[in-house]
Amino acid sequence: MDAVFEIDTTTQRDDLKSGIKYYLSFLKNTGAAASSSIVKSAPMATANNTQFAKNIILCGTPGTGKTYSTVLYAVSIIEEKPFEAIKAEDYSAVFARYLKYKEGGLVAFTTFHQSFGYEEFIEGIRPVVSAEENAETGRDIEYEVHDGIFKSFCDKAGTPIGGGTSVDLGIGKSPSVWKVSLEGTGDNPTRTECMDNNHIRIGWDGYGETISDATDYSKDGGSTVLNAFYNRMQIGDIVMSCYSSKTIDAIGVITGEPEWHDEYQHYKRLRKVKWLVKGINEDIVDLNAGKTMTLSSVYKLSVSVSDALQILRKVKPTLFTQNVKIPNRVFIIDEINRGNISKVFGELITLIEPTKRIGAKEQLRALLPYSGQNFGVPDNVYLIGTMNTADRSIALIDTALRRRFSFVEMQPDSATLKDVLVDGIDISEMLDTLNKRITVLLDREHTIGHSYFLQPLKADPSIERLATIFENEIIPLLQEYFYDDYEKIQLVLGDNQKPDDSTRFIVKKTDAVKLFGNADIDFPEYYEINGEAFKRIDAYAFL
């Protein structure tokens, strides 16, 4: 395998000669260095410490382990450990922690595609089936503003993790933020009693203790409020006590299920609450999509969890001791350049900049078009994307968005295959040879990743498995790369150096005249794939 190409000047195409000769000269001048990969993967500037860029794209050719590496980066960012330290660990142990973080809401994963849009990523309007009371009036379908996956992820990014039960704020992993009216606005006996005894109370006492599907709301209404109080509101959700149409006087966390307390004269429906702060006077109109609070006793606010936590941090900073941590969160976008990125990201093209994040000196919010919410990206949210540089069927990433990401190039790593041998064939050396030839004949963006060989051949290092990989994966990939230019594919596979067709993977056929008799046509040569050659050890001698 010392020679990458053997040039027969009588048969080689003129358009290939100059490139091949240039590369052979390169090999001669670089000596031993030529045996390594032409281009090393560009390491992330901060990969050896715990300071990661807020927005990262792992880019490279197919099979270089981009999606695999997102797991390592995510765990490293969340645990605030050096990337190299996480990479050195057993991958199965790291992956188990990754799944735990994903289940806990610290990691989210999505894949972009051509149908993916702003409405799925940030927010949009979707139809919902009306409640029965509205359906009776002929309104079977209603429309609501629905949070996209990234906005929902950001809204919950401020949720803290307690270092112990004594300091845990009690906030759930996916909390909602609710408004509750305690009897009415301003000071009143119900508000005072609720603050003193750590609970919230609402009315609709006329329906009695039991609320069920059979309850008739046609006379007095209240189905939406009671459904929210009994079914939608969950333990761990955040509740804000409405003091006026614009202000709140307390923030708490729901700690108990709905109860009925007949000892009260009014407002007998109760849920226990852990008040985190009381006696405040905070205007939340801007945080609530510019809307004042309505008369409804209980409903979900447009205030995000992160914004609620910011209020708490401002009015009572002692809540956030060293034992209560706001963890880093990681949002992974696989195949990021397969979507219409400018359309999907919308306002995020500005908001994801590190200097524009919530909590940064130049923090910036944008008014969202559907909800009217002033939205910003929290500082503890990290974006990791993957991008296949060899896919020519998709558009290049938007230039304005490109400058907001740090790019980590991932090249084929033949070192991972150094101990993989198939009947004496050194797979690591074979991959290096293939990629050097592809780089000369095409470019370095279309090399072959180590993942094509790594797991299959470590599990079954047989010639049959190697033949399957070449026939079903490598050959189709080369056909795509070279637009079915089989003469170049032959050069990549070393077929031009083989003595006869029995060991050539791609065989040139010149018998077209026999197929059509004596037709007076200058028939071109054509090529066939020799399936039997993939199963012969000597066929790989020139790789």
Q: Taking residues 509-524, what's their average pLDDT? A: 76
Is residue 41 pLDDT above 50, yes or no?
no
pLDDT tens-digit readout, 387-410: 988 875 554 666 777 888 999 999
Here the tokens at position 230 are 């009994």
Tell me the pLDDT band of 22, cut-offs 50, 70 and 90. low
Residue 30 CB coordination number (10 Å): 12
Strands 55-60 and 238-242: unpaired
Task: For residue 275, report the phi and psi dihedrals to the nearest 5 degrees.
Answer: -75, 120
Identity of residue 119: E
Tell me the pLDDT band of 488, cut-offs 50, 70 and 90. very high
Residue 311 CB coordination number (10 Å): 19
Q: Looking at the domain 55-119+327-410, which fold is it? A: Rossmann fold (3.40.50)
Q: Taking residues 145-174, what's their average pLDDT? A: 76
Closest-CA residue to 416 (of 452, 463, 462, 464): 452
This prediction's pTM: 0.79
Closest-CA residue to 431 (of 50, 35, 6): 35
Q: What is the C-alpha to C-alpha distance for residues 55 and 373, in angstroms, rounded to an integer?
A: 23
Judge whether 336 and 110 are in contact, CB under 8 Å.
Answer: no
Predicted local distance difference test score (pLDDT) of residue 38: 29
Sheet with 406-410: strands ordered across:
107-111, 329-334, 381-388, 55-60, 406-410
Q: Taking residues 206-210, what's their average pLDDT? A: 88
Tell me the pLDDT band of 251, cut-offs 50, 70 and 90. very high
Burial call 291-305: b when 16+ CB within 10 Å, e when fewer = bebeeebbbebbbbb
Among 36-40, 209-213, 359-363, 487-491, the least confident range: 36-40
Residues 6+ apart with CB under 8 A from 531: 471
Is residue 280 pLDDT above 80, yes or no?
yes
CATH of domain 161-321: 3.10.590
Q: Taking residues 292-317, what's their average pLDDT? A: 89
What is the DSSP secondary-structure string of 252-284? EEE-S--EE-TTSSS--EEEEEEEEEEEEEEE-
Measured CA angle at 329 (ends 176, 47), to 5 deg = 175
Q: What is the C-alpha to C-alpha distance for residues 361 and 275, in angstroms, rounded to an integer?
A: 30
3-state secondary structure of 315: helix
Q: What is the C-alpha to C-alpha distance for residues 116 and 130, in angstroms, rounded to an integer?
A: 27
Is residue 138 pLDDT above 70, yes or no?
no
Here the tokens at position 183 are 């009897």
Residue extents of the structural domains in the chain: 14-39+420-540, 55-119+327-410, 161-321
Q: What is the C-alpha to C-alpha distance for residues 399 and 401, in angstroms, rounded to an integer?
A: 5
Q: Which residue has the higher pLDDT, 337 or 7?
A: 337
Residues 6+ apart with CB under 8 A from 397: 57, 336, 337, 341, 387
